[in-house]
Structure 1
Amino acid sequence: MPLPYRARRIRRYGRAASAIACLSLAACATDRLALAPATPDRPWEIPPSFDNLPEPGTHTAARTPSEGGTAPAVAAPASTAERRVPRGNSVQIDPTRRYDLAGLIDLAQRNNPETQGAWEQARQAALAVGLTETSYVPQISAEIVGGYQHTPLPIPTTLVRKGYFTSDTRELLPTLTAKWLLFDFGRREGSVDAAKANAFVANVAFTGAHEKLIYAVSRTYFAIGAARGRLRVAEQALKSAGIVQDAVESKRAHELATVVELAQARRQTAQARYNLERARGGQNSAYSSLVASVGIAPDVPVQIADSSEMSLPPAPSGDVEQMVRDALANRPDIIAGLGKVRAAEATLSSAESAFYPTVGLEAQAYQNIGGLSTEGSRYYSVNEPGANILLKLSLPLFDGGARDAQISIAHSEVAAARHSLDQAQDAAVQQVTDAYDALKTGYAEYEAALALTKAAEIAYDAALDAYRHGVGNYTDLANAQTALSQAQSEREDAHSNVFTAAAALAFSTGTILSHS
């Protein structure tokens, strides 16, 4: 059975609306999520230049340098058992695994709230790009207006004696409206460019958050290595104090040592025991700092691989000037500063375009379903389609100085972005220089600590042997024992300081992530 005329017409309007809706969906704003990093647990790989951005969907997770270099390598994704559990901000720890630096960084990257937040901000910035790009496509809306109107209208008294007549109207107007901005002298282009620059900045900031996280975990990891080394030194010092006390007590039993020497030996043992407890407290504090930087709950035990026996990283290649150049080219804060300058310049361009006219197209298609009654007569009905298409030229003439103010603000934002970039570059130069000097000093201190420890060991052995054979005094023995413990502790600190300085140099130059 053929459809009634009205139904066929409504079906045609429905098909037209569906076709236009499909065209609009082809440019969906949420498609731009592909510009954001794919996952929150791996850093975004910064492209070699701002203009060489990766195509949507081609994310590459950067890796960190190996442990043997200036910064650690990120291990491959851990097993499902180590994935984050849905409980607060913690991860599930494998109790049988001794986590090295790479494993700890992997845990931190999957659990750190700062990187998670930076990832969400990058996604928001990517969506903002799609939002600004929607201004290039037609804006389509559907609405239905219906109602009743009673209207008195004037009319010559020659036609109607009382000089007016009344009209009663009832109408239902389903309408499909399309508005399309065709030309605006670059106003939309500036907004899109600014949004893209902001998305780039957000992605770089996300990578910067990962770099800060890796540096924080590295610093606390090497700190616990130094604390463990000091604990071993304290344990050995207590053993040495016991040996010395035994020697003094043996000599005192044969009346070859004084009561004062015996009291001093016992005091030395008590001091060593106190130092041991303090070293244990330092190790516990270093452990707490490490698990906090990783994001592990403090009551969750985790086995940490010892870093105190690791070979020193290689000395930096190149001079400090080359490292400064690397920092200015690779540091996320400087790259983000360049992106902010681009965003501010694009915003300025968009603001300046507001002084030019805009050209747009507006169209409507509707169905007039209604009736009209005059002076209480019966209603005369209509059910017919209507349409219009209009070309609109708009030029704002006066706005109280709003556009001038927007341009002044945009100029100020450009200047502020450039000053921030200069400040970031100056800070980078100082940080690289300080880290480079600290690393050079760390190597020298470690070599000196090795020589000092060797000399202290020889002196202690000689003093202990001399005292046992009655040709040495207790004061020399006690001094040698104290000097040995101090030298060994300084050696452990120097070893850790080299690794920490190497990580600081890699962080300050922006090379703590490997792009291999």
Structure 2
Amino acid sequence: MKPSLELLALGVGVCMTVGTIGAASANPVPTQDEPESSTSSISSKPPAPVAPPLTLGANHDRDGDPTPPFAIALTPRTVAQTPPVAKPTPAKPTSKTAQGTPSPRPSAPLPTTGSPPSPSTPAPSNPTPQPPSGSTPAPQTPGTGGANQIVPTPPGLDPAANRLQFPTRPGEVQVRNVQPITLQQALELAERNNRDLEVSRLQVEQSRAAIRQARAANFPTLALTANLSRSGNVFISQTPSFSQQLAGIDPNSTSTAFNTGVQLNYSLFTSGLIQAQIRATERQSRSLELQLEETREQVRLTVSTNYYNLQNADAQVAINEAAVRNAEANLRDSRAQETAGLGTRFDTLRAEVNLANAQQLLRNAQATQEVSRRQLAQVLSISETATLTTADPVQPAGSWTIPLEDSIVLAYKNRSELEQQLVQREVSQAQIQAARAENGVTLNLVGNYNFQRSGTTNTSTNNADSYNLALQARWNLFDGGATNAVISQRERDREIAEARFAQNRNLIRFQVEQAFSNLQANLANINTTQQSVAQAEEALRLAILRFQAGVGTQTDRISAEAALTQAQGNRVSAIINYNLALAQLRRAVSNLSP
């Protein structure tokens, strides 16, 4: 009779549970933890002007089951967690069921409000450009630190001052400091420590020294020379000649001579050669400055991309941890039902396989997380003993209010790649002028002053001095066509710069349009995935209740858990992809004020 009573109690519990669920679905009653909301009131509520922040956290419901680590908080710029929602209370059976525990909540909180407000970004259709009011409006995006503003960074992250130092012991590369940083701090560290930026800065300094070298040709050069010599016979003596005898000169004596002089050279006229070389060097220096600007913008994009990838990796780890906890709870329920005779060994095996798959996905996510951490650390060039984690919550990083057409025009104005090709064209033109001046007339002023002191062992010391002042002119009449060949090469360089200008212009427009389209698509995906997460949470809650009541299958529960995990991952991916598209759009336009 005891099994019959338990089955009767189970049937009564199922009926009352289903009735309670139906009544709750038809007439939802707000609880203390859940504010009143309805579909009609949600649809009529105007959207907020800011993006809803997506925060990371972990809660536990009333039964101790963990809730998923992601909760939508509708308060802007705050890290909040959605309060747990009251569970539907099924009718208590007259006797204990095989499970013997209250029906747990799904491992994800139910939405407490309607669909979250969408960020103030452009609609999927291209917005109408605003009338210009004297200047192009700045995008409503947060500051990015780095070269634009100074952000304090955590201590202990800067690398060693000696660039040539490398560790030789394992303890010197052991990670002992796990430091959370914000995106602003990461950008500031990259501005200070990134090696690509350091090389670009050194190249700019090198080019400025080259300018000083080229300008030095406008000044005269003054050189001091000196010569000291001593000569004489070693083994063989010479017989003096008749003239030497008359002059009293001994050819076997030792002589000493000292010569010193000053030489002055000054180019009076070079047919514009020096001016053309200076102009070419200055434009090359400007090209390297623009290259530094391009490198800085690209490093900022790389840092932002790696930071968002690390955020995504952290989020995927948290999602898979919640999936493992769901699979463990499912396995406990399956074993309990198998022990009570209400389940089968097949259901238990399926739950074990589901748990093993979830654990494998978690390990893969943790490996990706570690790789993302080291990738960010490599770009920031931090200390060997430190690694990084993200401190910013996973939330939309801002909005873009500039229309597409204005964004393209602004990119044409701001991108250093276009100006760099124009500067390279000017370099080629200056080199052409310098090559033509090589065949022109040059006029140089040369002055010399010499002083000589000499003497032998048999004669007294003699002193003498002299000077020389001359004008030297030079004109190349024929060089075998070498100058014309050089000019032809530089003309081709000029045409190449023009072709690359057109190529970069087309590429810049494509980059702006691509990032703009991705931004709009991911904005729509954020709104869609937030709804799908709420639906997946409710589906999992019902699947758990049906499975524990004996009217649902384990396949339904496993499918609902997988759907919830996928929905949470899609929501995080949509936000991360939105932020990536925003960073790419800022890079495509470049040089935006914070």
TM-score, normalising length from structure 2? 0.66
In the TM superposition, what is the alpha-carbon distance from 1:495 to its structure 2 partner? 1.5
The question of 1:187 aligning with 2:306 is answered no
Counterpart in the other structure of 2:201:
119
Separation in 2, partners of 1:322, 1:89: 49
Counterpart of 1:482 (choices 530, 554, 562) is 562
In the TM superposition, what is the alpha-carbon distance from 1:415 to its structure 2 partner? 1.7
Asked whether the 8 Å contact 2:142–2:397 carries over to 1, the reply is: yes
Counterpart of 1:196 (choices 255, 272, 282) is 282
Counterpart of 2:183 (choices 95, 101, 111) is 101
Separation in 1, partners of 2:548, 2:461: 125
Counterpart in the other structure of 2:548:
468
The question of 1:343 aligning with 2:423 is answered no
Asked whether the 8 Å contact 2:454–2:462 carries over to 1, the reply is: yes
Separation in 2, partners of 1:81, 1:238: 35
Separation in 1, partners of 2:385, 2:176: 11
In the TM superposition, what is the alpha-carbon distance from 1:306 to its structure 2 partner? 3.5
1:228-243 maps to which residues of 2 (within 5 A)?
Answer: 228-243=314-329
In the TM superposition, what is the alpha-carbon distance from 1:233 to its structure 2 partner? 0.9
In the TM superposition, what is the alpha-carbon distance from 1:119 to its structure 2 partner? 1.9
The question of 1:495 aligning with 2:575 is answered yes
CA-atom RMSD in angstroms: 3.5
In the TM superposition, what is the alpha-carbon distance from 1:243 to its structure 2 partner? 2.5
Query: 2:360 is aligned with what amino acid?
Result: Y
1:3-402 maps to which residues of 2 (within 5 A)?
Answer: 69=142, 71=144, 75-76=150-151, 78=153, 82-86=157-161, 88=165, 95=177, 98-145=180-227, 172-296=258-382, 300-307=385-392, 309-370=393-454, 383-402=463-482
The question of 1:436 aligning with 2:516 is answered yes
- Matched residue SS, 2:260: strand
Residues 133 and 313 of structure 1, relative CA distance in 2, 3 Å threshold: same
Asked whether the 8 Å contact 2:179–2:386 carries over to 1, the reply is: no
In the TM superposition, what is the alpha-carbon distance from 1:385 to its structure 2 partner? 3.8
Larger radius of gyration: 2
In the TM superposition, what is the alpha-carbon distance from 1:70 to its structure 2 partner? 7.7
The question of 1:427 aligning with 2:507 is answered yes
Asked whether the 8 Å contact 1:431–1:508 carries over to 2, the reply is: yes
Query: 2:201 is aligned with what amino acid?
Result: W
In the TM superposition, what is the alpha-carbon distance from 1:137 to its structure 2 partner? 0.1
Ranges in structure 1 where 5+ consecutive residues have no aligned partner: 1-64, 151-159, 373-377
In the TM superposition, what is the alpha-carbon distance from 1:224 to its structure 2 partner? 1.0
- Matched residue SS, 1:178: strand
Ranges in structure 2 where 5+ consecutive residues have no aligned partner: 1-137, 233-241
In the TM superposition, what is the alpha-carbon distance from 1:261 to its structure 2 partner? 2.3
Residues 275 and 66 of structure 1, relative CA distance in 2, 3 Å threshold: farther
Asked whether the 8 Å contact 2:293–2:416 carries over to 1, the reply is: yes
Query: 1:472 is aligned with what amino acid?
Result: G
| 484-493 vs 276-285, greater mean Cα deviation | 276-285
In the TM superposition, what is the alpha-carbon distance from 1:493 to its structure 2 partner? 1.5
- Matched residue SS, 2:386: coil
Separation in 2, partners of 1:357, 1:380: 49
Separation in 2, partners of 1:138, 1:198: 25
Residues 108 and 89 of structure 1, relative CA distance in 2, 3 Å threshold: farther
| 80-89 vs 252-261, greater mean Cα deviation | 80-89
Residues 475 and 95 of structure 1, relative CA distance in 2, 3 Å threshold: closer
| 105-114 vs 129-138, greater mean Cα deviation | 105-114
TM-score, normalising length from structure 1? 0.75
- Matched residue SS, 1:302: strand
Separation in 1, partners of 2:143, 2:593: 14
In the TM superposition, what is the alpha-carbon distance from 1:387 to its structure 2 partner? 2.4
Query: 1:456 is aligned with what amino acid?
Result: A
In the TM superposition, what is the alpha-carbon distance from 1:346 to its structure 2 partner? 1.0
Separation in 2, partners of 1:249, 1:497: 40
In the TM superposition, what is the alpha-carbon distance from 1:379 to its structure 2 partner? 6.1
- Matched residue SS, 2:438: helix
In the TM superposition, what is the alpha-carbon distance from 1:257 to its structure 2 partner? 2.6
Residues 404 and 371 of structure 1, relative CA distance in 2, 3 Å threshold: farther
In the TM superposition, what is the alpha-carbon distance from 1:188 to its structure 2 partner? 0.8
C-alpha offsets along residues 304-330 of structure 1, whole Å, 9 cap, x if unaligned?
2344x2431233222233222222222
Counterpart in the other structure of 2:488:
408
Counterpart in the other structure of 2:16:
none
In the TM superposition, what is the alpha-carbon distance from 1:439 to its structure 2 partner? 1.7
Residues 462 and 149 of structure 1, relative CA distance in 2, 3 Å threshold: same
Separation in 2, partners of 1:249, 1:465: 16
Asked whether the 8 Å contact 1:344–1:410 carries over to 2, the reply is: yes
Asked whether the 8 Å contact 2:145–2:188 carries over to 1, the reply is: no
Residues 175 and 67 of structure 1, relative CA distance in 2, 3 Å threshold: farther
Residues 276 and 381 of structure 1, relative CA distance in 2, 3 Å threshold: closer
Residues 395 and 148 of structure 1, relative CA distance in 2, 3 Å threshold: farther
Asked whether the 8 Å contact 1:226–1:495 carries over to 2, the reply is: no
The structure in which a higher percent of residues are helix is 1
Asked whether the 8 Å contact 1:84–1:110 carries over to 2, the reply is: no
Separation in 2, partners of 1:282, 1:197: 45
| 75-84 vs 238-247, greater mean Cα deviation | 75-84
Asked whether the 8 Å contact 2:177–2:385 carries over to 1, the reply is: no
In the TM superposition, what is the alpha-carbon distance from 1:486 to its structure 2 partner? 0.7
In the TM superposition, what is the alpha-carbon distance from 1:207 to its structure 2 partner? 2.5
C-alpha offsets along residues 367-403 of structure 1, whole Å, 9 cap, x if unaligned?
243579xxxxx86875344323222222111222222
Residues 148 and 480 of structure 1, relative CA distance in 2, 3 Å threshold: closer
Identity %: 19
In the TM superposition, what is the alpha-carbon distance from 1:425 to its structure 2 partner? 2.2
Asked whether the 8 Å contact 2:266–2:445 carries over to 1, the reply is: yes
C-alpha offsets along residues 221-278 of structure 1, whole Å, 9 cap, x if unaligned?
1111111111111111122222233333343344333332232223222222222222
